[in-house]
């Protein structure tokens, strides 16, 4: 028999169970009512992802995408920079077997014709700039690495004797700078006014006084090289190498001393060109000692030797008539036989004779029919491009 107490407990438990079942039923129904709404909300959240929405260019890219986009832009810039510019050959008429003048200067002095005044030198530079000449380095000249703009003509500037008026340094605010009025300072000043002209030049020194002024010889030579200029050999004592009695040992001593001086001042620097004092080459039997030799344990090798005076034409190194130990230089004067200004006038009358750049260092452009004058051994990996000028009708 179940007592009254037990009956009461059972009634209470039954009521509680009923209440719990009722609550579960209500909650379940509520969840069922809410499911379609949640599903709708989820679909709304998915919708923008599924739509073909164009990105706002002003929105910031996620980090990874930004990096990838930057890399693509960089690749595009590199491609644009490295891709050679095509030119209209009928307009530019490049002639990369034409003459490249090499100019011989000495100092900035009123002692004509071997020296020029500041006014005259500025006149020379202004003419070159306005008439489409652009200075190039001796290294680029020898390597045929011509990077001047299409339609322009390279020109090589050289200075002999290591004179104080050519280059000298003074101390300003604890720093060594070129002295005002020297050739280097004038070129630096001109290049600031006309940056597209540049300031390439090569300085040929002897073994005596070398650019007298502030600083040591090493500091002076290093300043020149650090600022884009070149150095070359003009013999230790300015010896006339063409005179009788000159021996192979004389030549090797004259070249070897200056060669070692430059290498000691600038370790690793390559000296590979010489300007002959008085423009005189050694006798033929001794010319091999210009190309290479040894003095006091120092080995030297020279690619090119320059004479001076009334001479020409100025064949470039790629021309079959280029004679590396007998290269012409025009005196940087006006009014003398076949000097610089004489040739300036000549090329104005005969522009087809001078070198005209195609603007590409990787290509050599010449007229059809000129192939026989191309020294293909020196062409290297450059493309030889020929074209013909169409007749005007």
Of 133, 258, 116, nearest to 194 by C-alpha is 133
> What is the tens place of the pLDDT at every residue in 18-51?
444 433 443 343 443 344 333 333 333 333 333 3
Q: Report pLDDT for 72.
A: 52
The rounded percent of the chain whose pLDDT value lies above 90 is 75
Share of the chain above pLDDT 70, in %: 79
Selection from 386, 362, 360, 387 nearest residue 148 by Cα: 360
Residue 66 maps to a domain: no
With respect to residue 150, please indicate whether it lies within any of the assigned structural domains: yes
pLDDT value, residue 75: 54
CA distance 54 to 97: 55
> According to the model, what pLDDT value does residue 66 have?
40
- Position 54 scores a pLDDT of 38
Specify if 293 maps to a domain.
yes
Which pLDDT score, from 0 to 100, does residue 368 have?
97
HSE of 26, CA atoms in CB hemisphere, 13 A: 6
Domain contains 380: no
Q: Is residue 311 part of a domain?
A: yes
Residues 166, 221 contacting (CB under 8 angstroms): no
Give the pLDDT of residue 82.
58
**How would you classify residue 376: left for phi > 0, otherwise alpha for psi between -120 and 50, otherwise beta?**
alpha
Q: Tell me which residues of the chain have a pLDDT lower than 70.
A: 1-82, 392-393
CATH code, 247: 3.20.20.370
Note the pLDDT tens digit of each residue in 174-209.
999 999 999 999 999 999 999 999 999 999 999 999
When divided into structural domains, the chain yields a total of 1
Flag whether 340 is in a domain.
Answer: yes
Confidence (pLDDT) at 20: 45
How does pLDDT run across 48-67, given as a tens digit for each residue?
A: 333 333 333 333 323 334 44
Domain span including residue 193:
99-352
């Amino acid at each position: 028999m179940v007592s009254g107490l037990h009956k009461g407990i059972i009634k209470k438990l039954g009521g509680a169970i009923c209440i719990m079942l009722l609550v579960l039923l209500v909650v379940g129904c509520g969840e069922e009512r809410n499911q379609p709404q949640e599903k709708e909300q989820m679909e709304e959240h998915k919708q923008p992802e599924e739509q073909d929405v164009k990105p706002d260019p002003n929105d910031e890219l996620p980090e990874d995408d930004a990096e990838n986009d930057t890399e693509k832009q960089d690749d595009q810039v590199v491609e644009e920079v490295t891709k050679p510019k095509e030119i209209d050959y009928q307009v530019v008429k490049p002639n990369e077997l034409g003459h490249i003048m090499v100019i011989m200067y000495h100092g900035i002095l009123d002692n004509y014709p071997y020296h020029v005044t500041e006014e005259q030198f500025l006149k020379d530079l202004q003419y070159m700039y306005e008439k489409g000449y652009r200075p190039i380095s001796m290294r680029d000249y020898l390597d045929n690495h011509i990077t001047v703009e299409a339609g322009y003509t390279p020109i090589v500037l050289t200075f002999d004797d290591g004179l104080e008026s050519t280059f000298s340094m003074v101390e300003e605010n604890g720093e060594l700078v070129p002295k005002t009025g020297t050739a280097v300072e004038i070129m630096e000043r001109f290049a600031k006014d006309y940056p597209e002209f540049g300031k390439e030049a090569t300085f040929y020194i002897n073994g005596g006084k070398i650019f007298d002024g502030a600083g040591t010889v090493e500091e002076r030579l290093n300043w020149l090289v650090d600022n884009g200029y070149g150095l070359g050999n003009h013999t230790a004592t300015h010896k006339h190498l063409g005179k009788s009695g000159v021996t192979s040992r004389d030549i090797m001593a004259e070249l070897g001393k200056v060669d070692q001086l430059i290498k000691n001042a600038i370790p690793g620097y390559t000296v590979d060109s010489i300007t002959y004092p008085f423009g005189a080459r050694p006798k033929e039997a001794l010319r091999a000692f210009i190309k290479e030799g040894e003095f006091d344990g120092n080995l030297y090798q020279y690619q090119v030797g320059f004479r001076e005076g009334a001479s020409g034409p100025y064949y470039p190194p790629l021309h079959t008539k280029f004679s590396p130990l007998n290269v012409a230089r025009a005196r940087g004067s006006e009014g003398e036989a076949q000097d610089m200004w004489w040739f300036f006038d000549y090329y104005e009358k005969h522009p087809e004779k001078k070198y005209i750049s195609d603007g590409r260092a990787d290509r050599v452009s010449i007229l059809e029919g000129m192939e026989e004058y191309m020294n293909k051994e020196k062409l290297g990996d450059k493309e030889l491009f020929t074209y013909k000028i169409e007749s005007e009708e």
